[in-house]
Structure 1
Amino acid sequence: MNLDIEIKDIDKVEDYIKVTHYVIIDYIEKVNYKDILNDSRAKYIFYELIDEFKEIYSLLDRRKTLMATALLRNAYEEMMYIIAISEDNAIETSVNTKAGHFINYVTEKSEKIFGEAPTSKDIYKIYGYLSKLVHVTNLKEVASYVASEKNTSKIIAREMKCSLIFIEFLYLYFLSRKLNIDIELPTVLFTCIPFFELINLIQLVKESERKKEMLMSYIRNEESHKYLKVEARKVANELNKVSIVQKEQLMNNLPKINDLIRKCGYEEFVETVIKNDIY
């Protein structure tokens, strides 16, 4: 895959996001549930989760953003359940057990499970972000309009794809620590995603002057909200300066990424992903 990334070349941005998603999923699919779970309680959910990740990406491709977000929130809860019972086989579950029980367990044990990053705050923050978007409120009504509006639907769907990849990689990272899996390729791909989120943010700023408060709801990182609170043109200039630095870092990494793709035997896989949907 010879990526030549340009700030204005959104198709290349989509290609990179797409490749990162598919590679992470391919790594996850190689794991057998018996490798991390001592009983069959979560066998169905273990395999269903992978299908849900695929379906979420497909929904976002079709701009079904709110539907995808609701499913992503559900998938995140299921992921927390799998992580929790893989860490503690004796953890209690019943028909009355709430999803928050497993999220609380994982956040409390986050350092043991994940190491220094992500933090417990990071883990709970993504859940709050997804919940905010799917709760039935006036916010959701307006969000539904904005997510389907022609000029912003692609931008918002792209932002949600980055959120999906964040969750997918979090899951893969957990599996890699649990099973000592080499995930150098997906890690290198994932570490470049913030650059593409920045490009997306630049696009969003240009569309956000009239509806910036609503659009802010879709940006996962609260630190980025400040970029949508001031004059769009001034912000775009500021973001462009940041993007130039990040782009230089990415361009320096592209030879390593392409070498890793070849080294890991993913060259044909990546070319197929770029040309077609492989699910």
Structure 2
Amino acid sequence: MRRGRGRQTRTFRTTTGALEGLSLAGARVAVHVTDLDRGEVVLAGDDHLPLPVGGLGIVPLLVEAAARMEAGTLDPHRLVDRPQTKRPAPSGLWRAMAAPTLPVIDLAVLAGGAGDAAAANALLDVVGHDNVTRRIVELGMPRSALLDGFRSERGPDDAPHLALGTAREFAVLFAALAAGTAIDAEVSERVVTWLSPVTDVGLVGSAIGADPFSHEPDGHGVVHFAKTGRERGVRAEAGVLAGRRGAFAYALLVDFDDVSLIDRQRAHAAFHALGGDLLEYAT
């Protein structure tokens, strides 16, 4: 792992130890953390390596949807039917809701904020997979790709994963969202709104202890928006964590053999360690 140098030593010692333990256990790990105030990389390891990222891969889809809304080519109030398939989306709230039709903007809220698989699939159908692919290239993410929609099962003719990505590219994307330069300030603001609050607080967000269902500041001066990704043997998160003393864009990707709960616990512990280190230096 590379560690940057600054006026305040940031060792990320806990994170580094956890990631080294994961690697020794056979997991593939990639991490990238940038100090947004100083514009320097403070932690990186295999951040160029494309790994499965699960639902984290829909963030470029959200960017494309927001760009089209801002350009006036996608009506945010256009009604869309819930996808009807023999293999329903594996997770999310919409499949349990009575409303079979939702406006596009609500699909973005559910997909971004709640990780809703059916909403993400419907949004992808509206926006178009080819358009998302082009947007990923325009965002400067040549090693990342949204391969498919969410599926409850993946057969031999399906893409092996929902999405692939690198820690570096996703950390840079979140840094751009924070700076208002992911396309432009209006697009960035829309996407950040959809990603806030972070409802999946089981990974990096666990360190903050915030209420995932509250939209109000919790009084501790911490700003956190992120997107997680979960598949069998895959845990991924990218986001921004900012406090009174610092602000960081980060991405951590872990591809591991999910054979036992101990394997899963070891992977989650690495995210908890990163959250603790980020909180230490940001607040």
Task: Give the TM-score band, short-chain normalised.
Answer: 0.3 to 0.5
Q: Larger Cα Rg: Structure 1 or Structure 2? A: 1
TM-score, with structure 1 as normaliser: 0.33
TM-score, with structure 2 as normaliser: 0.32
Q: Which has the higher helix share?
A: 1
Q: Which has the higher strand share?
A: 2
